[in-house]
Amino acid sequence: MTVHQQTPLIPKCSLCKKVMEISEGDILYGTEWYHKSCWDAVEKEQSQRSIPDADLIPIANYA
Ligand SMILES: [Zn+2]
């Protein structure tokens, strides 16, 4: 019997590339994770683009 080891999916912040420890306030945007502080920076850069609310999941509302 073959045992398949599942590779744990460790989310990394899409901005700073550090491993995420998911906590309240962190952001899942589509399939990309951001620290809260990193997201703030991304949001400023992308302020000219509108981000659909449906794609943005604040962890505070997710848990
Ligand atoms: Zn980060």
Share of the chain above pLDDT 70, in %: 68
**What total of structural domains would you count in the chain?**
1
Residue 2 falls inside a structural domain = no
- Segments forming the whole domain that contains residue 24: 8-63
CA 48–ligand 1 middle distance (angstroms): 21
pLDDT value at residue 18: 95
Residue listed under structure tokens 């999941």: 57
Residue 45 falls inside a structural domain = yes
CA 43–ligand 1 middle distance (angstroms): 13
Planar angle of CA 9, 22, 14, nearest 5 degrees:
65
Considering only CA atoms, which of 15, 17, 22, 18 is closest in space to residue 45? Answer: 15
Burial class of residue 27 in the structure, from the number of CB atoms within 10 Å of its CB (0-12 exposed, 13-18 middle, 19+ buried) = buried
**Rounded to an integer, what distance in angstroms lies between the CA atom of residue 48 and that of residue 10?**
31
pLDDT at 1 exceeding the cut of 90: no
